[in-house]
Structure 1
């Protein structure tokens, strides 16, 4: 594998954009073994889910709006590795101005790298289910452990949340909330939202708890309704996703 060690700044995006786990804990389980980071030349930090040996799934806003992007992880010695993507596909339903204009957006993108990721990474099982209010959901990512402290990014953490439906049931979005200030924040966009051991959504946005910059509702894009698009893109790259029907 050709490693590209770059000089991208590891800073956080605004809270309205990329989203990190506050109130969670370090996790070295299955979700961590199928997650990497995506860094942007404008200082953006995001998370991503491995869906094929050389393909990751992330939020579309994590790979748009900047001149360059890199898939990032640390090698066996702890040294940073930054890999230039060889291809990317942004969901045609993505709207970069969705938040400010209150329009619907399918905030998903697939990113391919030229060579396979190291063998320690596993492809994540993807779920087509749509958890309803009250169900457990695990949110994971490499973002902030403490609000407004960019240096706390880079460690994979998870938080156990509950599915909520603040605006009624949705066939596109998944919302979740924890106890107290807990959930996604800067750096966790593109990370997994998992239920029953499968990744059912990709984190796209979070809202602020009272008096905090993050920690209220964590929102993700459900993968089941986007399965056709995911499978079509991967088929074009001669790859397949691991779906748990």
Structure 2
């Protein structure tokens, strides 16, 4: 069964502006150890680029209305999964969501820490294919800019951070057990970047989706255990201190032989440049 990662589960100008705000990174060491299924609590101060997407109108006041994750790639630009902006997830068309916000600097969703910033514009990737899950990203423009220190660098095509066997971490406030136990505080799980062949064998094409190496990254543990889960969609996959993926889809949470699939950030950069 296809895993919905969320709890239930005028384009050119905005994409171009976002592309300009998305810096490619040269190789750099991992900034800090990653301390989600199989994850551990982490401090948002050590990963300020992780943000929560919120709509209390659609998801209630519990956990600040969080329903998806996101990542800061420019002072006024956040990336998330395209499917997080769908009617399937929101329950209504996006245009009817009047209180969409990005919550930055808040690790515990039961507190008022950090900032809640209104989203002034949303642009879904025009190349997104919901049937295969290819190109699963959207750009959110913030009504107010965040500090430069919140911005994470993106790994471009050919970066060593995408190499199979590389240690990575996925961040979010989603289900921590695969049984509907949603996190109140930010978690991260250590995962491993896997070879494209392993994900192509796991997802050759079905109702789950189709693994496409050009636009997706495969990460997790073949034996299962550590993984993203419901509520983590759109959150960041980070390796060598750089953004390499966005939580997108998979079969179950932490199942053996069913690793997590992420939107490849180098493909996000390509699409943004194309529509600049």
The TM-score by the shorter chain falls in which range?
A: 0.7 to 0.9
Distance 2:216 2:107 in 1: 36
Q: Hey, what does 2:214 align to over in structure 1?
A: 171
Q: Hey, what does 1:52 align to over in structure 2?
A: 74
Q: Where is the strand percentage greater, Structure 1 or Structure 2? A: 1
Distance 1:186 1:55 in 2: 24
4+ residue stretches of structure 1 with deviation over 6 A?
A: none
CA spacing shift, 1:18–1:149, aligned 2, 3 Å: closer
Question: Does the 8 Å contact 1:50/1:121 carry over to 2?
Answer: no
Map 1:125-140; keep pairs closer than 5 Å.
Answer: 125-129=153-157, 131-140=162-171
Q: Hey, what does 2:250 align to over in structure 1?
A: 206
Q: Hey, what does 1:8 align to over in structure 2?
A: none
1:103-141 Cα offsets, whole Å, 9 max, x none, are 352100010111123x49510110014524333222222
1:71-109 Cα offsets, whole Å, 9 max, x none, are 12466993165433101111011133x1xxxx3521000
Question: Does the 8 Å contact 2:169/2:188 carry over to 1?
Answer: no
| Structure 1 residue 143 displacement after superposition | 1.5
Mapped pair 1:71 → 2:99: no
CA spacing shift, 1:55–1:151, aligned 2, 3 Å: same
Map 1:81-92; keep pairs closer than 5 Å.
Answer: 82-92=116-126
| Structure 1 residue 215 displacement after superposition | 9.7
1:9-46 Cα offsets, whole Å, 9 max, x none, are xxxxx942428x11011223776211101134543711
1:189-212 Cα offsets, whole Å, 9 max, x none, are 1111122211011111132258x6
Match of 1:94 among 128, 131, 135: 128
The secondary structure found in structure 1 opposite 2:194 is strand
How much is the aligned-residue C-alpha RMSD, in angstroms?
Answer: 3.2
Q: Where is the helix percentage greater, Structure 1 or Structure 2? A: 2
Question: Does the 8 Å contact 1:34/1:49 carry over to 2?
Answer: yes
Flag structure 2 segments of 5+ consecutive residues without an equivalent. 8-35, 60-65, 91-95, 202-211
